């Protein structure tokens, strides 16, 4: 591939990808609004489910509503997250179908071959499977551990453990969506590698930058301590390394 050796995406391929995304902007926006419109009404049931579940509320914690718009704002937030998820799935399927064609056109080496329906179906199934694994990780490990951490930290500081509804539900749903999207990282890496949009050496050369970016992401959506940051970012980064190993084995080069 052309471009600087330190570039994660070579310049020609990056330009080709940007041009392709411009052509797909209406499809991606449409997918976003479908996810948003479908998720907005369903988010009300999700909020009620959280309020009625003791497993998401540490002992001694009281949930309060400070203003009447909190439920609406939460529904908007959850709807936006679902819209982003659906757009991400559509984009992954699109890159599976058009990845090699994008590279060929960016290199001006012909039209390039398209993917096949079997590959797109496999990506769709894997996206759902990895999303389910991310949700399970968040449900069994991430959310309970971090909620207990926040509750214990407030108690040890002598603070009242009273949480605002919007912050509480937003924190939980944010962790769920972050885990679901984070578990898509190995699938995204595989799509880019097999579509020849990126080389394995490019990821290896930028490994520390990717790890740093993952830890920054973990710091943004978790309490600012090393354990919490790793709990959020660690699985995503480890899965990326696993994707590189699997790609090396399956392609035998």
- Specify whether the CB–CB gap between 217 and 233 falls below 8 A: yes
Show the beta-strand stretches assigned E in 79-208: 162-164
pLDDT on residue 3: 46
**132 has pLDDT over 90:** yes
Give the DSSP letter of residue 69. Answer: T
Model confidence, pTM: 0.82
Rounded to an integer, the average pLDDT of 58-75 is 78
Instruction: Please write the tens of the pLDDT for every residue from 152-191.
Output: 766 676 666 677 888 888 888 888 888 898 899 889 888 8
Instruction: Please write the tens of the pLDDT for every residue from 190-240.
Output: 888 887 777 777 777 777 877 777 777 766 665 556 666 778 788 888 888
Task: Give the lowest-confidence range in 3-12, 111-120, 235-244.
Answer: 3-12
197 or 107, which is more confident? 197
Percentage of residues in the chain having pLDDT higher than 70:
81
Q: Which band of pLDDT confidence, cut at 50, 70 and 90, is reported for residue 103?
A: confident
Q: Which band of pLDDT confidence, cut at 50, 70 and 90, is reported for residue 114?
A: low
Rounded to an integer, the average pLDDT of 68-89 is 89
Mean confidence (pLDDT) of the chain: 79
The set of residues, in sequence order, having a beta carbon less than 8 Å from that of 245 and lying 6+ positions away, is none
The set of residues, in sequence order, having a beta carbon less than 8 Å from that of 196 and lying 6+ positions away, is 1, 99, 100, 103
pLDDT on residue 32: 95
pLDDT on residue 221: 60
* CA dist., res. 178 & res. 85, Å (int): 10
Q: Retrieve residue 179's tokens.
A: 């885990």
Rounded to an integer, the average pLDDT of 140-163 is 75
The set of residues, in sequence order, having a beta carbon less than 8 Å from that of 2 and lying 6+ positions away, is 10, 11, 12, 107
CA-to-CA dists, residue 200 to 17, 196, 247, angstroms: 18, 9, 8
Rounded to an integer, the average pLDDT of 23-50 is 88
CA-to-CA dists, residue 46 to 53, 78, 83, 242, angstroms: 11, 9, 16, 33
pLDDT on residue 92: 92
pLDDT on residue 83: 93
């Amino acid at each position: 591939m052309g471009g600087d050796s330190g570039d994660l995406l070579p310049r020609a391929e990056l330009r080709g990808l940007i041009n392709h995304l411009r052509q797909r902007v209406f499809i991606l926006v449409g997918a976003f609004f479908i996810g948003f419109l479908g998720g907005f009404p369903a988010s009300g049931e999700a909020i009620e489910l959280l309020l009625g579940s003791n497993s998401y509320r540490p002992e001694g914690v009281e949930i309060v509503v400070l203003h009447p718009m909190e439920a609406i704002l939460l529904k908007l937030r959850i709807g936006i997250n679902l819209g982003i998820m659906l757009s991400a799935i559509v984009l992954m399927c699109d890159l599976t179908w058009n990845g090699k064609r994008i590279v060929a056109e960016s290199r001006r080496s012909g039209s390039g071959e398209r993917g096949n329906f079997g590959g797109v179906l496999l990506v769709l199934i894997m996206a759902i499977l990895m999303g389910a694994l991310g949700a399970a990780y968040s449900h069994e490990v991430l959310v309970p551990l971090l909620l207990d951490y926040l509750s214990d930290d407030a108690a040890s500081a002598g603070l009242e453990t009273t949480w605002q509804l919007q912050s509480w539900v937003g924190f939980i749903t944010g962790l769920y969506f972050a885990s679901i999207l984070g578990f898509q990282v190995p699938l995204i890496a595989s799509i880019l590698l097999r579509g020849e949009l990126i080389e394995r050496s490019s990821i290896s050369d930028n490994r520390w930058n990717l790890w740093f970016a993952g830890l920054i992401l973990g710091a943004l959506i978790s309490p600012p301590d090393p354990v919490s940051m790793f709990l959020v970012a660690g699985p995503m980064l480890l899965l990326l390394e696993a994707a590189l190993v699997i790609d090396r084995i399956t392609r035998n080069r």
